[in-house]
């Protein structure tokens, strides 16, 4: 039976013929290579965080505060990394977290399609952002039968919001992931210092410009007057959501509503009571608010409060070991963001595929050597705070 960890055998065997991996297998070298290759305005947007980026650093560093204890004399020659989510079985607990500038991460400006191809190649679901360079339907066609999720930045205009959600459902996405913490952008010095905001330059707005409800708001089509369309977008982006909006959100679709940005157990309980299909524990990777705690440190209490409702997680995931630790702390599925964006920048779909395979291989091999043949065994082992 093949395992994700077999990827290392491919690398070592290729090395016998003098072939080394085109891209690095560790995050630090990957980030350095991507930083040298990406245009500064794209790199700043992907790599940067809010304020002095303290929360962003905490997100990744906090995984080092958690340790796990191996179990020996356990037969882990076969591992099962599959999970159940939204009534479907997925081969891995990993998913590609939504990134609003994926589209401009590749040289051809079709990074969303490249991410979809990487999803198909690895079986790792893609959570597609509202902000894309290719319409959500085109990305769905690229995904084919591979499941994906659609992340919603809820517009202020109710008709545009309903249209985006219904388009996503019709296109075959399996859940609507509603981001709660981005009705206004946080203070991002890297972008501010260069006065660069991609959307104001017309990037990653294809889902709006192709949307019939949005186009009705325009005096002329975006193809004729793109500047006016961009101005219209700035006026409707970012609806402030409250708990009173949950019945409306649920009325838009039969798909599960996933609430992204939940970090407090009381909010998790309210989400459960409001009928959320899943809770997404995330602080937006430190991009939206600074000075907060690391998301991984908040995860256990969110999971406890969520009860039987699944909890998705992202923020600071840089390795397969990070993925396993998040699973041990109760996450049902774990999202990775910046690493696959760097892979896209360096080698398109093949680069993102390489990054995802590295993450899965490391997670699988960690489970193998530590005597955890299943995710249930990982959770039974748990993770302990070590500092």
Q: Which residues are the active-site residues? A: 284
Q: How far apart are CA 341 and CA 30, in angstroms?
A: 10
Choose among 334, 112, 324, 135: nearest CA to 215. Answer: 135
Buried b (16+ CB within 10 A) or exposed e, 27-45: beebbebbeeebeebbbbb
Tokens 């991460």 sit on residue = 105
Choose among 101, 66, 99: nearest CA to 294. Answer: 66
Radius of gyration of the chain (CA): 20
Choose among 139, 151, 147: nearest CA to 176. Answer: 151
Evaluate the CA torsion angle 91, 92, 93, 98 in order and state its sign. Answer: negative
Choose among 348, 339, 308: nearest CA to 142. Answer: 348
Choose among 138, 135, 102: nearest CA to 205. Answer: 135
Choose among 109, 99, 104: nearest CA to 129. Answer: 99
Q: What phi and psi values does residue 107 have, to the nearest 5 degrees?
A: -65, -30
Q: How far apart are CA 279 and CA 260, in angstroms?
A: 6
State the CB neighbour count (10 A cutoff) for residue 108: 11
């Amino acid at each position: 039976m093949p395992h994700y960890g077999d990827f290392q055998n491919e690398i070592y065997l290729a090395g016998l013929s003098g072939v080394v991996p085109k891209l690095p297998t560790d995050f630090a070298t990957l980030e350095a290579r991507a930083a040298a290759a990406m245009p500064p305005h794209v790199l700043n947007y992907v790599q940067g965080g809010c304020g002095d980026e303290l929360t962003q650093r905490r997100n990744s560093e906090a995984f080092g505060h958690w340790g796990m204890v191996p179990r020996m004399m356990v037969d882990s020659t076969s591992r099962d990394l599959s999970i159940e989510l939204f009534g479907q079985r997925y081969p891995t607990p990993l998913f590609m977290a939504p990134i609003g500038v994926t589209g401009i991460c590749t040289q051809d400006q079709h990074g969303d399609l490249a991410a979809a191809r990487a999803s198909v190649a690895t079986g790792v679901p893609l959570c597609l952002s509202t902000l894309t360079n290719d319409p959500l339907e085109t990305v769905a066609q690229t995904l084919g039968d591979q499941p994906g999720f659609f992340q919603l930045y809820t517009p202020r205009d109710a008709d545009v919001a309903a249209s985006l959600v219904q388009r996503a459902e019709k296109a075959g996405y399996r859940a609507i992931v509603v981001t709660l913490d981005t009705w206004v952008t946080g203070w991002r010095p890297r972008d501010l210092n260069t006065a660069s905001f991609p959307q104001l330059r017309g990037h990653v707005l294809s889902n709006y410009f192709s949307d019939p409800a949005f186009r009705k708001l325009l005096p002329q089509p975006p193809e004729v007057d793109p500047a006016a369309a961009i101005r219209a977008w700035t006026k409707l982006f970012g609806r402030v959501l409250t708990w009173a909006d949950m019945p409306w959100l649920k009325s838009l679709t039969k798909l599960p509503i996933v609430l992204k940005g939940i970090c407090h157990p009381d909010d998790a309980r309210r989400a459960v009571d409001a009928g959320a299909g899943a809770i997404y524990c995330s602080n937006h990777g430190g991009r939206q608010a600074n000075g907060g705690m690391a998301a991984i440190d908040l995860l256990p209490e969110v999971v406890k409060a969520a009860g039987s409702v699944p909890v998705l997680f992202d923020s600071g995931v840089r390795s397969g070991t990070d993925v396993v630790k998040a699973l041990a702390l109760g996450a049902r599925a774990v999202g990775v963001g910046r690493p696959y964006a760097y892979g896209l920048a360096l080698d398109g779909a093949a680069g993102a595929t390489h990054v995802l395979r590295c993450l899965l291989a490391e997670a699988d091999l960690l489970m193998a050597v530590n005597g955890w043949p299943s995710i249930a065994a990982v959770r039974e082992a748990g993770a302990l705070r070590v500092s």
